[in-house]
Chain A
Amino acid sequence: MWRDALLVAGKDLRVEWRSRVGLNQVVPFALAVLLLFGLALGPDAARLRAATSGLFWVTVLLAALLGVQRSFALESADRAGDGLRLSGLDAGGIFVGKAAALGFQLLVLEAVLALVAALLYGTPLEGVGVLAASCVLATAGLAAVGTFYGALAAGTRVRETLLPLLFFPVVAPVLLAATKAWSAALGRSGGGGVGWLALLAVFAAAYVAIGTVAFGPLLEDS
């Protein structure tokens, strides 16, 4: 399974590197969302700093949706997904590989967004350890859920509208926990955020496990 996961992740990242869709479309989109949130909230610096965590994670969620759609658009074009199935790759490996590639791209995006949000909203990035840990754990959860429901939606004719309906409600706990962990790290709320990190870890572990086991039947039925 791990060999297949590495192969699929490498392929997805190579495709992304060649197409530059993430760099040329998803990153500018996410930056525009951060900017628009800032404009909507106005020039009140204290208000912007207080809202930084939530705005950051809502932006990440929106960008993650684009990333998931892109990940499965690759497999729809020229029926490449059928090629994956025909090659006899382990379904769990395909799931882990696609989720890992998506997660890696999201982590890079989050690093860029965190720096821009800090500059744009005037929020010093304190508690870097908790910020980084919450990014890694939340991204694992988002990538696992996105890959699972991306495959489910990809087999339908209404994939573009179905995916957000499936994805956003399920990742609501990730949005909540990651925002709380960031708020704790940035000193906007009490506690160290460890409890929220634990929730993110449990969520990610659960969805990685579910996806690894259920991806095979999902691929065959979609």
Chain B
Amino acid sequence: MPPAVVFIEAVVLAGRFPLLSGLSLEVATGEVVHLRGANGAGKTSLLRACAGLLPIASGRAEVLGHDLLVDRVSLRRAVGLLGHAGFHYEELSVRDNLRFALRASRAPLERAGPALERLGLTGRLLDTPVGACSAGQRRRLALAVLVARAPRLWLLDEPHAGLDAEARATVDALVAEARVGGATVLLASHELERAAAIADRSVEIAGGRVVPAATDSAEVGCDVA
């Protein structure tokens, strides 16, 4: 089976500033990979590049068989990104936001109910405008969208942030279920122990590059300093 993600010397720029500066990474299909690194190391940029949201300036980047230098739009229905933002419309209710997300991504609407229930979004909360929801509830909704879309590649940026203990355990369970279902998961997290427990392997990122495994702990210390 071909790898889900192949980045070779990939460069992503914001103006002239390199967000990824020659990053190389290969992730097998069905693998759960934990991305770790200091703030600003490039974890979020890598996830956004994998989602086709950031253009690749040079190098090679393929995600789910799509060459991102040629076309980074047609890939998007196959990936799900849980970012720092939830991509919600504040005026729309929890239910309406999920239904819109599913219609837009052409996912079956029947998945909405089970996904909302799985994330504990039930009762009156369903008709509550997202603008009136707590940060944790918004996070749960973003996860519900992801679950209902059932993407082939899950891109999770600090998925446990802002969640209570029960929801954090649900996130761990969802990642495990995604893997069982054949999906690939890239997970950026500062919660090293928790992430290590659900990931197949861990990759250190610093300065927009993957730190070689043999030397990563020593180099990370230097980069952060």
Interface residues of A (CB under 8 A from B): 4, 7, 11, 14-15, 18-19, 74, 77-80, 82-89, 91, 216, 220
Contacts and interface: CB of A to CB of B under 8 A. Distances in A.
B101 A78 contact: no
B85 interface: yes
Interface in B94-134: 96, 100-101, 103-106, 129-130
B51 interface: yes
Contact of A78 (B55, B81, B86, B96): B86
12 contacts: A7-B104, A77-B89, A77-B90, A79-B87, A80-B88, A82-B53, A82-B81, A86-B51, A86-B81, A88-B73, A88-B106, A91-B73
A88 B76 contact: yes
Of A74, A79, A84, most buried by chain B (CB within 10 Å of CB) is A79
Nearest to A79: B85
A78 B131 CA distance: 10
Contacts of A11: 89, 92, 100
A80 B87 contact: yes
A148 B88 CA distance: 22
A83 B77 contact: no
B193 to A, nearest CB: 29
B23 interface: no
Interface residues of B, number: 30
Contact of B91 (A19, A85, A216): A19
B89 A80 contact: yes
A74, A84, A88, A220 — which one has the most chain B CB atoms within 10 A of its CB? A88
B3 interface: no
Given A78-B86, A82-B87, A88-B77, A18 B104 contact: no
Nearest to A18: B91
Nearest to A90: B73
B73 A83 contact: no
Nearest to A81: B87
Given A7-B104, A18-B92, A18-B129, A83 B76 contact: no
B87 A15 contact: no
A18 to B, nearest CB: 4
B88 A87 contact: no
A91 B129 CA distance: 27
A83 B141 CA distance: 13
Residue of B74, B81, B87 with highest tally of chain A CB at under 10 A = B87
A147 B11 CA distance: 32
Nearest to A12: B89
